[in-house]
A and B are shown apart, each in its own frame.
Chain A
Amino acid sequence: MMISAERGLSEAGLGLPEAEPNLEISEAERTREAARDLRFELLKTDWEYYKEKYIDSIIPKSAQILGSSAANYIGPLGFVKMNIEAATGTTFVGQKLTPLGRINHVIIQGLNAYAHYLPFDEGFGPAFKAYAASWAVDSVQYYPEIISALSALAKRGKMPTVAAGLGKLEKILDKTQVRKLFFKEDTLDEQKTKIT
């Protein structure tokens, strides 16, 4: 194998001084971020269409507010919370979302909105599917955190069997590396530390 003189010197600690930060790379990343933001706005207008057409016109505001029992799942509170998180790219507990994580937040709320519209004239079958889909999409993103938290609680509550079972599940979810799709890696370790 050929090794260049420059690399050989560098590996021996005798190379050229370290290069200055590559400005072209950071400029490229800024360009990508700006383009992602544009696409993200586009996605919001697509979902806004469904929200305005079906939700705001059909469900009275008071009913929406009364229905907002679970912040991430139903109603305007969850809708606003998750959309703010998606827009800022950071969750309320400080996890940084990947581009796919931001998109996922909008989809979860969109499916919820869709599910709430459907019972009015299409029966509960399609509504249930849309709602189940929103839970499934949400779980894929947040299940690992929920399992970690429950596992920690079980340990504190001296329920070793439950903790062991949850621990196994947590490891399986870790192996699939599903979190990395939705959360930036540097915040995953911090989050794990907070939970345990």
Chain B
Amino acid sequence: MNKKQKLHELIEKLIALGEDKDELWFWQEYFQIMKEENQDRLLLDLEKEVQDLEALKK
């Protein structure tokens, strides 16, 4: 799975978990012009948020 697909998947999960979709829409667009290292950081941060929110649901 490439980075863009990964981002898309994480964003879909976060919207389902109640995240602000306007903000996430921004990140989806902005991702394309981000510095490479920041792209990786963003993916990690989003992944952690998904995990944290899913853990709260259990």
Contacts and interface: CB of A to CB of B under 8 A. Distances in A.
A98 B56 contact: no
Interface in A21-35: 24, 27-28, 31-32, 35
B22 A98 contact: yes
11 contacts: A31-B49, A31-B53, A31-B56, A32-B18, A32-B20, A32-B49, A35-B45, A42-B41, A45-B38, A99-B22, A181-B22
A72 B26 CA distance: 22
Contacts of B19: 32
B37 to A, nearest CB: 9
A6 interface: no
Given A35-B45, A35-B49, A100-B23, A24 B38 contact: no
Interface of B: 17-20, 22-23, 26-27, 30, 34-35, 38, 41-42, 45-46, 48-49, 52-53, 56-57
Contacts of A28: 17-18, 53, 56
A7 interface: no
- Of the four ranges (under 10, 10 to 19, 20 to 34, 35 or more), the interface on chain A belongs to 10 to 19
B26 A100 contact: yes
A36 B18 CA distance: 13
Contacts of B49: 31-32, 35
Contacts, number: 51
A32 B38 contact: no
A44 to B, nearest CB: 11
A27 B34 contact: no
B45 A38 contact: yes
A46 interface: yes
A101 B26 CA distance: 11
A39 interface: yes
A181 B22 CA distance: 7
Contacts of B46: 35, 39
Given A32-B18, A36-B23, A99-B20, A46 B53 contact: no
B20 A100 contact: yes
Nearest to A23: B56
A139 B17 CA distance: 32
A27 B27 CA distance: 23
A103 to B, nearest CB: 6
Contacts of A36: 20, 23
A124 interface: no
